């Protein structure tokens, strides 16, 4: 997930920035350009209100050119969603692999979610606020984000605590949900002028809460604090 941030929806390109018709691009570059134009339209209008005409106009191409790359609106949306879900999952993976310190892992993961949600393209809306979740192919991709991000976090929890896999996964889902839901709430409030919390401070605040919760589970190489150590004499109450 990149380090780009958003100050307001006004930072997105306007109609004056449209690509001029007639510009010739290599196929790969054209596909990338069409995806960027489609992202702007879908984020602004949602899936149902967006039209292929709008996307073609935004990209500065004819509809036949658009259909050469994507056979329909759903296929275009799914291509964007694949790219978006990959970004979230790889951002989570990179955060977890950035350090061996678990407190810093929690912080890095929360910052990754906040950075992704705050990106000025608004790509997160396709993943976390899609208006097409009744479409099985869309639902599958959205669920993949939670599942794969949680699995990455669960591996770390398991290695550190030795808890059963199902318990690790449940804790991981809670942490992932905390990150993405709080980030979206923070951004919405900030764009509407209801809070003045800076991005790093907001992510750090939530990371602190998450760490205070997850650190209560014992490390596999440390004795539990509620069990007597074998090298200490037992008290009368423990006997």
Residue 98 and residue 29: Cα distance in Å, rounded?
31
Nearest residue to 216 (alpha-carbon basis) of 103, 111, 101, 93? 103
Q: 235, exposed or middle or buried, with CB in 10 Å at 0-12, 13-18, 19+?
A: exposed
Place of tokens 């709080």: 182
Backbone torsion region of residue 22, taken as left when φ is above 0, otherwise alpha when ψ lies between -120 and 50, otherwise beta = left
> Is the pLDDT score of 228 beyond 70?
no
pLDDT exceeds 80 at position 238: no
Whether 57 and 117 map to the same domain: the answer is no
| Residue 17 lies inside a defined structural domain of this protein | no
Quote the domain boundaries for residue 145.
Answer: 82-216
Asked if residue 139 and residue 46 are part of one domain, the reply reads no
Question: How far is it, in rounded angstroms, from Cα 48 to Cα 30?
Answer: 24
Domain boundary among 33, 49, 71: 71
Tokens of 103: 């407190």
Q: Locate 183 and state its tokens.
A: 């980030």
86, 67: one domain: no
Reported pTM: 0.77
Residues 33 and 104 in one domain: no
Angle (CA) 119-12-126 rounded to 5° is 55
Q: Residue 228 domain-assigned?
A: no
Report if residue 11 sits inside a domain: no
The CATH number of whichever domain residue 36 belongs to comes to 1.10.10.60
Residue 220 pLDDT greater than 70, yes or no: no
- Domain-located, residue 172: yes
What pLDDT is stored for residue 221 in this prediction?
57
Residue 191 pLDDT: 83
| Rounded Cα distance, 72 and 52, in Å | 8
Q: Tell me: the pLDDT tens digits for 43-84?
A: 999 999 999 999 999 999 999 999 999 999 999 999 999 999
Whichever domain contains 141, its CATH number is 1.10.357.10
Same domain flag for 62 and 145:
no
What is the total residue count of the chain? Answer: 239
Q: Is residue 114 part of a domain?
A: yes
pLDDT digits (tens, 9 = 90+) for 184-207: 999 999 888 887 899 999 999 999
Q: How many domains would you assign to the chain?
A: 2
Average pLDDT over residues 204-219: 90
Rounded Cα distance, 75 and 236, in Å? 71
Regarding whether 88 and 65 lie in a shared domain, the answer is no
Residues 101 and 154 in one domain: yes
The residue-averaged pLDDT of 156-178 equals 94
């Amino acid at each position: 997930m990149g380090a780009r941030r958003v100050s307001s929806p006004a930072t997105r390109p306007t109609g004056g920035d449209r690509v001029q018709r007639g510009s010739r691009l290599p196929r790969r570059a054209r596909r990338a350009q069409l995806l960027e134009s489609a992202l702007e339209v879908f984020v602004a209008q949602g899936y149902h209100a967006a039209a292929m005409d709008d996307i073609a106009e935004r990209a500065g191409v004819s509809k036949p050119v658009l259909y050469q790359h994507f056979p329909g609106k759903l296929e275009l949306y799914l291509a964007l969603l694949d790219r978006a879900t990959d970004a979230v999952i790889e951002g989570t993976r990179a955060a977890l692999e950035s350090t061996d310190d678990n407190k810093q892992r929690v912080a890095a993961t929360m910052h990754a979610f906040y950075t992704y949600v705050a990106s000025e393209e608004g790509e997160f809306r396709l993943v976390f606020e899609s208006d097409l979740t009744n479409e099985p192919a869309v639902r599958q991709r959205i669920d993949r984000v939670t599942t794969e991000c949680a699995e990455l976090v669960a591996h770390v929890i398991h290695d550190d605590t030795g808890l059963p896999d199902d318990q690790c996964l449940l804790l991981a889902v809670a942490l992932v949900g905390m990150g993405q839901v709080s980030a979206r709430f923070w951004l919405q409030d900030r764009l509407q002028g209801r809070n003045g919390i800076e991005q790093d401070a907001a992510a750090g605040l939530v990371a602190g809460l998450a760490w205070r919760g997850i650190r209560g589970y014992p490390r596999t190489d440390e004795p539990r604090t509620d069990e007597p150590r074998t090298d200490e004499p037992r008290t009368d109450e423990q006997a």
